[in-house]
Structure formats: C-alpha cells, structure tokens
Amino acid sequence: MSKIAIISQPDQGVLIDVSGCSSLQEAIDHLSSTLQVSSQFWKGSSVALNLGKLDLAPNQVAQILAIAKGVGAGPDFVWSQSQTTRAALIESNVQIGVGAPMSLPKVNLDTPQHDFVQEEPAEEAVIDKTEEDITHFYETQEGEVLKTGEAFDAPADADDKTEEKTSKVPPLPTVLYLRQTLRSGQTVSHKGHLVIIGDVNPGAELMAEGDITVWGALRGIAHAGIGGNIEAEIRALKLQPIQIRIAHAIARSPDRPRVKFASEKFTGPETAKLVEGKIRISKRSID
C-alpha cells in the first residue's frame, strides 16, 4: 500500500491521501518530501486531505496542517476515520469531509507470471548515423484488449443532427504537471495525462487515464490508459520500470540486461505503446 498518494480529478480537485502511513512521523516525512518539492503546483489548487485511521491530538493536527499550508496546500476538507482525530479537527475549526474521499483506481498491478520476451535486433537494425528509430518487442500477459471505439467521419453534406453510429474515445480533460522525484511509497493518480519532471524510483507508482510522460528515469510502476484507453502511451528519458501496463496489457522488465546498441548517439527517450496486443518499446536518438 502506498504511504502517500496524490489523486487528481478535474471535477473534484486534488486529494492528498496519507492513510497508508502508520504513524504521525511517517505522515510528516512523506508530506514534507511530496509537498515542498512541488510547492508552486499547490498554490491556488483545491486540495483535500485524508488522514485515514491516524489518531492525532489537536497539536499533531496543527503540525500536519502547518506543513500543507506552508506550501499553499491548505486543505478545504479533511477526512478521518478516527474519532480522536475528528474531535481534534473540530477543535481546530477544520471542516471535515462528507462521504468518502477519492480513492486510487482499482487495478491489478501484481507481477505477471511471464517476463518480457525481447527480440534480438537484426544486423541491419543496428543504429548508425542514418538510422532514426529502432524498436523492441515485448510479450505481454495474455488477455483480451478491449476496443475503445473508432473515429467516425460524417459526409460533408450530412445533417448536423445526424447521430454518430459509433462512439469515440472522449477527450481527456487535463494534464497534471508535477515537478518532483517520486520515491518508494509515493503514488500519483490523475484522470487525464500525467507529466512528471523528475525520476520515478522503485516502489513509486503512476496511474493515468491518458499518457504518462516522465522527464527522467522511470524505475517504478506505471499504468497508462486506465479504463481501457488502448491509445495511451508511456514515455521516459530512461524506461527501466519494474512493471508497465497500458489499458489491459501488462508486462514487467526482463531479468537479463537490455540489448546494447553500437552507436553512442542512441541515447534518446523511449516510448511504450500497444501494437497488436503487445507492448512495443521504441527508442529514438536525439539529433
């Protein structure tokens, strides 16, 4: 379970969830490292906080709130399952959230039974000065990939009121831009595209309904296309994940080292996407 999660939905704002922390000190440590690095992001945002089952006295609640307010992330609402903490929130004149807070998407991120199967590149595919792109193919866990819909182009003279006969994938509403490195125990979830400026270390997780882009090294877990968006992609300057998942396809890194390429120029970012039911990793050199 994540120690701290940032859950973003455009119509509900941002929830900071520390319910996975087992103590006040653990919650403070994760809040400090998560909020302070991205202090500019929080200013002006609608923020809520979930304390879970943490039992906190009034002075401890004040300590938590001071960290959030210090970076402009003072919560509008605070959820708690502890009667002790709820009493402390009331004493501190903090509004308690009604109903259930937002939660992380329910997805299966267990390690699959089979590793990626990497095809050895053919001789003519070795990178040289004229080669721009090369790809690896990785086997994904067997399972049905749902079709999310095809675009429908109506004739030019069609009536404006004519109903489309096939559904389109709805546009993803927003991009969540987060400037920080994520460490073990930290999770970010967004209903849209997700951009991380920094590294994603082992033990950290990313979840998005759209694309995931990491301007750094992706070494944790990434799940793009939650909800069945097979057009979603995962990109990183260094793609070294423990596990990646796109829509319903899932795979993990091979035990053996990745294939090395002849040209030192071949140091560009990598992109993972679904091609014919397989997760395809493509790498492009930077000119």
Give 219-269 pLDDT, tens digit per residue: 999 999 998 899 999 999 998 898 999 998 987 776 655 544 444 444 678
Bridge partners of 216?
none
Measured CA distances, 42 to 37, 69, 113 (Å): 10, 10, 40
Record the tokens describing residue 148, joined without a space.
């999310």
* pTM, full prediction: 0.73
pLDDT at 141 over 50: no
Determine the Cα angle at 78 with ends 172 and 38, to 5°.
55
Record the tokens describing residue 5, joined without a space.
């999660």
Measured CA distances, 58 to 87, 162, 192 (Å): 8, 60, 37
pLDDT at 71 over 50: yes
pLDDT at 40 over 70: no
Record the tokens describing residue 78, joined without a space.
């605070």
Q: Is 150 helix (H, G, I), strand (E, B) or coil?
A: coil
* Candidate ranges 71-75, 154-158, 188-192; pick with highest mean pLDDT: 188-192
**What is the torsion angle, in degrees rounded to the nearest 10, for the CA atoms of residue 258, residue 262, residue 263 and residue 269?**
-10
Q: Enumerate residues 6+ apart whose C-beta is below 8 A from 96.
A: 77, 78, 79, 80, 86, 89, 90
> Could you give the CA distance from residue 173 to residue 270 in angstroms, rounded to a whole number?
25
pLDDT at 139 over 70: no
Answer for the pair 236, 224: CB distance below 8 angstroms, yes or no: no
Average pLDDT over residues 98-126: 55
Bridge partners of 178?
196
Sorted by where each starts, the structural domains of the chain and their CATH numbers stand as 4-91 (3.30.750), 123-284 (2.160.20.70)
Strands 249-252 and 221-224: unpaired
C-alpha closest to that of 238 among 276, 279, 198, 185: 198
Phi and psi at 23, nearest 5°, equal -150, 165
- Compute the half-sphere exposure of residue 54: CA atoms within 13 Å on the CB side of its CA: 27
Q: Does an H or E element contain 177, and which?
A: strand 175-179
> Could you give the CA distance from residue 112 to residue 132 in angstroms, rounded to a whole number?
32
Answer for the pair 238, 217: CB distance below 8 angstroms, yes or no: yes
Measured CA distances, 251 to 144, 162, 248, 265, 282 (Å): 14, 42, 10, 28, 15
Q: Give 253-262 pLDDT, tens digit per residue.
A: 766 555 444 4
Q: What percent of the chain has pLDDT over 70?
A: 68
Q: Does an H or E element contain 205, and which?
A: strand 205-208
Residue 85's pLDDT band, with cuts at 50, 70 and 90, is very high
> Could you give the CA distance from residue 234 to residue 238 in angstroms, rounded to a whole number?
11
Record the tokens describing residue 144, joined without a space.
């049905």
Q: Give 145-181 pLDDT, tens digit per residue.
A: 333 333 323 344 444 444 443 345 555 458 888 888 9
